[in-house]
Chains A and B, each alone.
Chain A
Amino acid sequence: MTESSATPELRTIDTEAGTIGNVAGPVVKGINMRGCRMYDVVQVSDERLIGEIIELDGDKATIQVYEETDGVTPGGPIYLTNLPLSVELGPGLIGKIYDGIQRPLPNIKEVTGDFIGRGVHVSPIEHDAKWKFTPLAMVGDKISGGDFLGEVPETTVVMHKIMTPPDVEGEVTWIAPAGEYTLEESIAKVKLVDGTERELTMAQKWPVRRGRPFKKKFDPEKPLITGQRILDTFFPIAKGGTAAIPGGFGTGKTITQHQLAKWCDAEIIVYVGCGERGNEMTEVLQEFPELLDPRTGQPLMNRTILIANTSNMPVAAREASVYTGITLAEYYRDMGYNVALMADSTSRWAEAMREISGRLEEMPGEEGYPAYLASRLADFYERAGFVDTIHSDDEQRDGSISVIGAVSPPGGDFSEPVTQNTLRIVKVFWALDADLADRRHFPSINWLRSYSLYLDQMVPWWSQEVSGEWPKLRERAMVLLQKEAELQEIVQLVGPDALPPKEQVDLEGARVIRENFLQQNAFHKVDTYCPPKKQVMMLNIMLDYYDMIQGAASKGVSVERIKSLKCREPIGRMATASNEKFQSLFTKLHKEMREEVRDLTGGGA
């Protein structure tokens, strides 16, 4: 077994408990296992492969193993840890890339080289690194779970609060003075309610399958601004909300997820690459340290945690990766941060469940998925939310987790179980459309099929922070786009020229919005992020353009002449106008556009 700075728990286990009885892929059956608990972590064979107990039957236990089991022999030992699958929480999480069970991939690389070997036990966060600790609690303070003991600047943008573990309640008898400490050193002593004293370090553990506690869940009220026009303006997601992006391959799920991870205004990003491509994770890993967050000016990696369990990595660890991700997200939420979690893709997670379930010979539900698929999905999405976090004083301390899950429906068919069960839970649906992707309309989110149930809740924020016109503009644009879809059906039959001028102008108005507002180039240095103010101004100008040409048409100006207006081109290039100077540019453009159309009617009348 290879070992490098293993956690204390891992070092001490040597109690051999059971014997391997049967091996079939990632599922191992153990015998003589009486006394172990469901979901306890065990180590299988002398290679100490990490596994988790998922079924008990008398003295037999079924174990899902998080590593490849080639070469494992019945009769070999099974070691117990008597701990559920847990993550280690503390400073040093940000900027890391983990596998599905929180092993840092670069550290695995140090042990087994360029390929991922087996039986590697590495510590999730460095135990010997020194962190600059500033105490926030004082001796004599009565504290309970979630209360801040101190803080540590984790990166240039993240102030990591050292919190009292949720199960600790008592009085501070000692707190470390400001200074540098490792995760092994204690930073506080607490006299617990039962009279015993407990030493606390900056690190704590939490089982991944159990949500961390909070005081109260509220309705979300602020949007998660993503800088993506179709998302922010048309189908907004709230901070603390849930969204699903289903789409066949090549429709842009991953690019949308990457865009959100790059530009959304959450303070912490947890990106879970669950059963997807290795190169995609590498891209994030190589790109994020170089990209700057538009709000803080700091590298995006300074607020990001990556979890990469690619498709060819062990399937059981893929099943765990989603839980690992959300637990890390909850930990930062408890500090009072807005966290956004991207899970790409939840279908691969569901498939991992199906694979394990199949090996257990459970009775299958729809399409071979286990019957508990719906409840597992619901459990996961329900861990999102806008909450008052736990702490002992009465003042509210807000934190949120927004979850955006990609779904990969087979054949792009949304009627399959994972998509359907997800849509029953999430509040925002961004429907990706292969037709749009084929014609390179990106993001290829279908504006007629998508929806957001947060619209009404977002109105106060937009009105206050951006513009009171937002709800009206949005609605008018949607009506126009809907009209276009209806007209297109007629055009398919009779051709565009057979329509009356008014309808032809409708098409022109919708085209402008479709091509220049809904489309957004993720690879363009300016267009990749569109600030909310710019979004509103763009839509305002486009709808004004539509109103004016409709007015011109009603005065008898021919559609041909409208389509030869010079202002059409600058409108088409609004998206790429600099994000700093767009206001003056747009005001000028708006004025010129008005004058040009006025001349048209003046000359034509």
Chain B
Amino acid sequence: MMSDVNKQIEYTSVGEVSGPLMVVEKVTGVSYGEVVQIKAPDGSLRLGQVLEAGMDSAVVQVFEGTRGLDTKLTSVRFIGETMKVAVSKEMLGRVFSGTGKPLDGGPEIIPDKRIDITGEPINPSAREFPREFIQTGISTIDGMNTLVRGQKLPIFSASGLPHNELAAQIARQAKVLGKAERFAVVFCAMGITAEEANFFVKDFERTGALERAVLYMNLADDPAIERIIIPRMALTTAEYLAFELGMHVLVILTDLTNYCEALREIAAAREEVPGRRGYPGYMYTDLSTIYERAGRIIGKEGTITQIPILTMPDDDITHPIPDLTGYITEGQIVLSRSLHRKGIRPPVDVLPCLSRLMKQGIGTGRTREDHDDVSNQLYAGYAEGCDLRDLVAVVGEEALTERDRKLLKFADIFEDQFIRQGADENRTIEETLGLAWELMSTLPKEELKRIEVEYIDRYHPDVKKASKASK
């Protein structure tokens, strides 16, 4: 158990400083995970955390960087508790740093509670399965990769692609149909540039979302090591808002790639055995302690929905960061450079996209009875159309059959009308499905094999027209 004895003692026995780590010698009673206050020779105060606790020494990771620390004058105080974040209702509308200090010039908040940022795993038997459809107003998401409340759905992007615009649009438009509920956004920036951060802040200001948002900012020039704790602070705040104040919280985490780089930096400094591409072998477990904090709990009103953003190094989806993320999250939205080049925005490449919770969140009573079939048919048609493009490149369009030409055309209009969408265009689910039927009606009716006959009779534009005409 942690002791308070150490609180009084100021150790000046720093033995070694290396990268983000520091070894303090001749200590007693230091606990694993304990927070450390470090006084640098110039008098500035920094925060750290114990990574390894021994009988007479402790390895400390220093959150605000080790620059300027020495082994003579630097003094260290172990404060006898693990990393905590102060939370209160007053946090809405405020901006905080990676160590929880206000950045907006406002006063420190008066905490309602101080909560451990590590968080405990949600008991699987206490979870409520996510089923509530969230309408984002974006056709590729609503129609084909539906987001539901309590889901974690990352955006796999790459440098130079408009993932921020997409995330902001989701934050702006997301709503659950037919309900007016308390909604909040927790935004966590990890190592992004000031410009990117400004984009979000301005967008939140413009739409009035700022007053129901909590922002945690660690920018590109802030200490990398803070990126390890900042998402946990943000998620702890989100848990407080959701499970204690009953709000529906959307958490945007950007950019997870920077987080993983920071993780690798510490692992390297500790001389750990590296896993794939130098990332630590426990990165899967570590990432899961972030992503798995999304969800719903039986009997609790609030929910946490996560949209993490990560940039795939070199557009490579098999890179450990997107790969491990995909294994934990419930699907992924993938942005494509080739669609972006064609000028299609948002450039969502639907083929590798997935929402694992879609099936349970759509259908009769949630969206519409034909939703699943329509989505399957769009996928099948677009996939075949894309294959045919490769074929056309070799044999020319003349060699195609009539049917194949129609599929080829379908792939084009699908990209142009269904995927392409304005930044402020908010399509209802009815509009999205209507548009899908419109596009599918360019295909022969017998090609719509994924759709139940009764839905074709009910929703196919030709059938509708015909029945109107007969009336």
Residue ranges of A at the interface with B (Cβ–Cβ < 8 Å): 21-25, 31, 45-47, 68-76, 97, 105-106, 108-109, 112-117, 248-250, 273, 275, 277-279, 281-283, 285-286, 308, 310-313, 315, 348, 351-352, 354-355, 358, 361, 364, 367-368, 408, 410-413, 434, 438-440, 491-498, 515, 523, 569, 572
CB distance from B85 to the nearest CB of A (A): 15
Give the complex CA separation of A261 and B2 in angstroms: 45
Which residue of chain B has its CB nearest to the CB of A47?
B1
Output the least CB separation between B26 and chain A (Å): 13
Of all chain A residues, which has the CB nearest B288? A311
Q: Determine whether B292 belongs to the interface, using a CB cutoff of 8 Å to chain A.
A: yes
- Contact A45–B332 (Cβ < 8 Å): no
A279 touches B330 (CB 8 A): yes
A114 to B357, Cβ gap below 8 A?
Answer: no
**Alpha-carbon distance between A586 and B195 when the two chains are bound, in angstroms:** 65
B123 on the A face (CB < 8 A): yes
A286/B359 in contact, CB under 8 A: no
Residue among A47, A74, A434 making CB contact with B55, cutoff 8 Å: A74
Interface residues of chain B, those whose CB is within 8 Å of chain A, are 1-3, 28-34, 51-55, 59, 82, 116, 118-130, 150-151, 243, 272-276, 280-282, 284-285, 288-289, 292-293, 295, 297-298, 300, 317-320, 323-324, 326-328, 330-332, 351-352, 354, 356-357, 359-360, 372, 376, 379-380, 383-384, 390-391, 394-395, 399-401, 446, 449
CB contacts (< 8 Å) of B320 on chain A: these are 410
A523–B375 alpha-carbon span in the complex (Å): 14
Q: Determine how close the nearest CB of chain A comes to the CB of B291; give it in whole angstroms.
A: 8
Contact A311 B328 (CB under 8 A): yes
Contact call A312/B2, Cβ cutoff below 8 A: no
Given A21-B54, A74-B30, A410-B323, A348 contacting B292 (CB threshold 8 A):
no
Residue of B nearest to A97 (CB): B125
Residues A523 and B372 in contact in the complex (CB < 8 Å), given A250-B332, A279-B357, A410-B320: yes
Given contact pairs A22-B52, A105-B123, A312-B285, A410 touches B383 in the complex (Cβ within 8 A): no
7 contacts between A and B (CB under 8 A): A31-B55, A115-B119, A250-B331, A313-B121, A367-B275, A408-B327, A495-B395
Cβ–Cβ contact B126 & A114, under 8 A: yes
Closest CB in chain B relative to A266 CB, distance in Å: 23
Starting from the known contacts A368-B275, A439-B380, 11 additional A-B residue pairs (CB-CB under 8 Å) come to: A22-B52, A75-B29, A250-B356, A279-B127, A282-B124, A410-B323, A410-B324, A411-B317, A413-B318, A438-B383, A439-B379
| Cβ contact within 8 Å between A410 and B121 | no
Contacts A105-B125, A249-B323, A411-B318 given; indicate if A74 touches B357 (C-beta within 8 A). Answer: no
CB pair B276–A70 under 8 Å, yes or no, is no
User: In the complex, how many angstroms separate the beta carbon of A73 from the nearest chain B beta carbon?
Assistant: 4
Contact A73 B401 (CB under 8 A): no
State in angstroms the CA–CA spacing of A275 and B286 once bound together.
12
Tell me how far the C-beta of A320 lies from the nearest C-beta in chain B, rounded to whole angstroms. Answer: 15
B55 to chain A, nearest CB (A): 5
**How far does the alpha carbon of A401 sit from the alpha carbon of B468 in the complex, in Å?**
61
Please tell me if the beta carbons of B1 and A308 are within 8 angstroms of each other in the complex. no
Which residues of B are found within 8 Å of A70, using beta-carbon distances? 31-33, 82, 116, 118
Partner of A355, one of B118, B129, B282: B282
Task: Please state if B318 and A46 are interface contacts (CB–CB under 8 Å).
Answer: no
Q: A47-B1, A71-B1, A367-B276 are contacts. A279–B55 as well, Cβ < 8 Å? A: no
Kindly provide the distance from the CB of A557 to the nearest chain B CB, expressed in whole angstroms. 17
Nearest-Cβ distance from residue B343 to partner chain A, whole angstroms: 24
Q: How far is the CA of A358 from the CA of B283 in the complex (A)?
A: 13
Docked CA distance A407–B53 (Å):
35
CB-defined contacts of B317 to chain A, threshold 8 Å: 411
Given contacts A22-B52, A250-B332, contact A72 B32 (CB under 8 A): yes
Measured between beta carbons, the chain B residues less than 8 angstroms from A116 are 120-123
Cβ–Cβ contact B55 & A22, under 8 A: yes
Instruction: In the A-B complex, list the 4 residue pairs whose CB atoms are closest, starting with the nearest.
Output: A411-B318, A311-B288, A70-B33, A249-B326
Chain B residue nearest to A410 in the complex (CB): B323
CB neighbours (8 Å) of B327 from chain A are 249, 408
From A47, A71, A275, A282, B33 is in contact (CB under 8 Å) with A71
* In contact, B318 and A410 (Cβ under 8 angstroms): yes
Determine the main DSSP class of B at the interface with A: mixed
Chain A residues with CB under 8 A of B323: 248-249, 410-411
Q: Assess the A278–B32 pair: CB atoms within 8 A.
A: no
Closest CB-CB distance, A11 to chain B, in whole Å? 22
Chain A residues contacting B31 (CB-CB under 8 Å) are: 23, 70-73
Chain B residues with CB under 8 Å of A24's CB are 32, 51-53, 59
Do the beta carbons of A358 and B352 come within 8 Å of each other? no
A358 touches B82 (CB 8 A): no
**A114-B297 contact in complex given A71-B82, A348-B284, A368-B281, C-beta closer than 8 Å:** yes
A577 CA to B412 CA, complexed, in Å: 35
B123: contacting residue among A68, A114, A412, CB under 8 A: A114
Q: Are the C-beta atoms of B53 and A114 separated by less than 8 Å?
A: no
Q: Is the CB of B121 within 8 A of A497?
A: no
Known: A23-B53, A74-B53, A494-B395. A285 touches B354 (CB 8 A): no
Are the CB atoms of B394 and A492 closer together than 8 Å?
Answer: yes
A348 to B116, CA, bound (A): 27
| Contacts known (A22-B55, A438-B351); A277 close to B292, Cβ less than 8 A | yes
The residues of B that contact A367 with a CB separation of less than 8 Å are 275-276
Question: Is the Cβ of B354 less than 8 Å from the Cβ of A250?
Answer: yes
Contact A569 B284 (CB under 8 A): no
Q: A569 touches which one: B124, B288, B446 (CB < 8 A)?
A: B446
Q: Which residues of B contact A283 (CB under 8 A)?
A: 129, 360
**Residues in A neighbouring B120, C-beta threshold 8 A:** 68, 112, 115-117
A-side contacts of B55, CB under 8 Å:
21-22, 31, 74-75
B150 / chain A contacts, CB cutoff of 8 Å? 279
Instruction: State whether B292 touches A311 (Cβ < 8 A).
Output: yes
Q: Which of A282, A315, A493 is B285 in contact with, Cβ under 8 Å? A: A315
Given A21-B54, A72-B53, A279:B121 Cβ within 8 A: no
Residues on the A chain within 8 Å of B280, using CB: 358
- A354's contact among B59, B82, B281, B379, by CB below 8 Å, is which? B281
What B residues does A250 contact at CB under 8 A? 326, 331-332, 352, 354, 356
- Contact partner of A109 (CB less than 8 A), chosen from B126, B273, B289, B380, is B126
Residue of A75, A115, A312 touching B28 (CB-CB under 8 A):
A75
Give, as a whole number of angstroms, the nearest-CB distance from B296 to chain A. 9
On chain A, the residues within 8 Å of B285 by CB distance are 275, 311-312, 315, 351-352, 355
Give complex CA distance A249, B300 in Å. Answer: 30
Q: Are A438 and B281 in contact (CB under 8 A)?
A: no
Q: What residues of chain A lie closer than 8 Å to B379, measured between beta carbons?
A: 439-440
Q: From known contacts A21-B54, A492-B394, infer whether A278 and B281 are also in contact, taking CB-CB under 8 Å.
A: no
Residues in chain B near residue A108, CB distance under 8 A: 123
- Complex: A385 Cα to B129 Cα, angstroms: 35
8 Å CB contact of A315 from B130, B282, B295: B282
Query: In the complex, what residue of chain A is closest to B239 when comparing beta carbons?
Result: A115
Among B30, B129, B297, B332, chain A packs the most CB atoms within 10 A around the CB of B129
B328 neighbours in A (Cβ, 8 Å): 277, 311
Across-interface contacts of B356 in A (CB, < 8 A): 250
Max chain B C-beta neighbours (<10 A), residue from A23, A73, A411: A73
Name the contact of A310 in the complex, choosing from B124, B275, B380 (C-beta under 8 A): B124
B130 touches A279 (CB 8 A): yes
> How many angstroms between the C-alpha atoms of A97 and B127 in the bound complex?
13
Collect the chain B residues with CB atoms within 8 Å of residue A45's CB. Answer: 1
Knowing A22-B53, A24-B32, A411-B318, the reply to whether A109 touches B326 (Cβ < 8 A) is no
Q: Which residues of B contact A315 (CB under 8 A)?
A: 282, 285
B448 to chain A, nearest CB (A): 11
- What are the residues of chain A within 8 A of B288 when measuring CB–CB? 275, 310-312
Q: How far is the CB of B314 from chain A (nearest CB, A)?
A: 13
Asked if A364 contacts B52 (CB within 8 A), the reply is no
- Contact, CB under 8 Å: B274 / A368: yes
Q: Which residue of A lies closest to B351 (CB)?
A: A438
Partner of A492 from B1, B292, B390 at Cβ < 8 Å: B390
